[in-house]
Amino acid sequence: MISKDILNKAIYKIKQQKQHAEQIADKNLQKALLNTEFLNIYQLEKTALIENAKCEVYNQKKLYNIKDIETKRKQILQKLNIDEKSLLPNYKCNICKDTGYLQGKMCTCLKAIINEELYKQSGLNHKLNSFENMNCSIFENSKKIKNLYDTMKKWCNCPSSAYLNIVLTGKTGVGKTFLMECMANELIKNGNIVFWTSAFNLNQLLLKYHTTFDDNKTNYISNLLEAEYLFVDDLGCEPTLKNVTVEGIYNVLAERVENNKKTIISTNLNLKEIQDKYGERIFSRLLNKSNSLCINIENKDLRLIKKS
């Protein structure tokens, strides 16, 4: 479960949407009911629906012609210059009617609100980049980079992909974070719950979890474990905290793999440095050939290319 704080905020927001839509519709209906002609046809329609339902139960001939009543109602509304749609709630989500759930599962609208709340915790202070505004010509090896971006976009649109972990390696400034933002943006558009964090912030959450001893401690790591896609930017820049960093990262990765959830990581470290810093357990979990993809991005520092 996503942290209670995030989930409660998202559910409250969608309930407010639903309530607002229904209040407006009810206000419009009450205004229309001030007209005697509309009031009579409205009451007749309600009676007709109930009586016809009773007839169906007892296999009797229906007493009212609902279509004729509906036609009459529409004619009255037209005469009153009232849009029939204004008497019904104008829900923002036509799929779940602003309930947030459909057949017991989260609707994409609720996921979108959750993503908005998660984004506030990401530390990012700008809109996520997207594949659509990507300009591969800024890269030295533009053709190779375009193929990489096309491949990652396909992965984002293939939830059945065998790759649970994607690790982007390369020196500072080669575009790892930009690519991850494009991927996160695409996944959010596809209705997935995405949690973005820096490696430093990840470390802080693990520390809070490790040093908290009440029932709410799981709130610190629930987003790390439960988000459908977890993005960790700049792994390796965080300090190594004894009994926290390595153990915590391993447990997060292990739990996510166990639950078939996907993790995308960027790092300036090469494979040997990853193994040296985090040990064999994390290295093998992160770079297991059966379910992991490691991509090394080779390019000049983009910041230097832009200046030249």
As a whole number, the mean pLDDT across the chain is 92
- 148: part of which helix (H) or strand (E)? helix 142-156
* pLDDT for residue 17: 96
Per-residue confidence (pLDDT) for residue 307, from 0 to 100: 42
pLDDT tens digits for 217-266? 999 999 999 999 999 999 999 999 999 999 999 999 999 999 999 999 99
Task: Name which of 20-29, 31-40, 85-94, 142-151 the model is least confident about.
Answer: 142-151
Query: What does the pLDDT look like over 135-174, one tens digit per residue?
Result: 887 777 788 889 999 999 999 999 889 999 999 999 988 8
- Please tell me the distance from the alpha carbon of residue 201 to that of residue 26, in angstroms, as a whole number: 46
Residue 178 scores a pLDDT above 50: yes
For residue 293, list its beta bridge partners. 166
Structure tokens at 242: 């004894």
What does the alpha-carbon distance between residue 265 and residue 139 come to, in Å, rounded to a whole number? 21
CA–CA separation, 259 and 189 (whole Å) = 22
With a cut of 90, say whether residue 299 has pLDDT above it: no
CATH of domain 121-307: 3.40.50.300
**Confidence at residue 137, expressed as pLDDT on a 0 to 100 scale:** 77
Tokens, residue 196: 């973005």
Query: Is the predicted pLDDT of residue 304 greater than 60, yes or no?
Result: no
Q: What is the pLDDT of residue 300?
A: 63
Residues 6+ apart with CB under 8 A from 294: 166, 167, 169, 271, 287
**pLDDT of res. 48:** 95
Mean pLDDT for 48-55 is: 94
Residue 190 has pLDDT above 90, yes or no: yes
DSSP 300: -
pTM across the whole model: 0.85
pLDDT at residue 9 tops 70: yes
User: Is residue 304 a contact partner of residue 140, using CB atoms and an 8 Å limit?
Assistant: no
pLDDT digits 0-9 by tens, 63-107: 999 999 999 999 999 999 999 999 999 999 999 999 999 999 999
Q: Which of 260, 269, 262 is nearest to 293 (CA)?
A: 262
What is the pLDDT confidence band of residue 273, given thresholds at 50, 70 and 90? very high
Spell 279-294 as b/e; 16+ CB within 10 A means b. eeebbebbbeeeebbb
Q: For residues 279 and 281, what is the distance between their CA atoms, to the nearest angstrom?
A: 6
Q: Give the pLDDT score at 140.
A: 74
Domain segments of the chain as ranges: 4-99, 121-307
